[in-house]
Amino acid sequence: MKNLKMKSARAAKDLSQQELADLCGVTRQTINAIEKGDYNPTIRLCISICKALDKTLDDLFWDN
């Protein structure tokens, strides 16, 4: 399932996929795959993404 919450949060901070990837220490392709729902990130990467986007795990990775 696509992670539109993460994509929206990234856009709200005016970050490109590459910029977010650089902040998290991964490739742009990894960020793209997470947003497309093709990759299930580790909890460590989820936390790194949340910190970079000033969001909680619930905000970005929990389905309502």
What tens digit of pLDDT does each residue of 4-29 get?
Answer: 999 999 999 999 999 999 999 999 99
pLDDT of residue 64: 65
CATH number reported for the structural domain that contains residue 27 in this entry: 1.10.260.40
Tokens of 21: 């990837």
What is the Cα–Cα distance from 28 to 32, expressed in whole angstroms? 6
Which structural domain, as residue segments, surrounds residue 44?
4-61
Q: Which residue has the higher pLDDT, 36 or 64?
A: 36
pLDDT of residue 62: 87
The three-state DSSP-derived secondary structure of 35-46 is: HHCCCCCCHHHH
Counted domains in the chain: 1
Amino acid at site 4? L
pLDDT of residue 8: 97
pLDDT of residue 32: 98
Residue with tokens 């790194």: 48
Strands (E), the chain: none
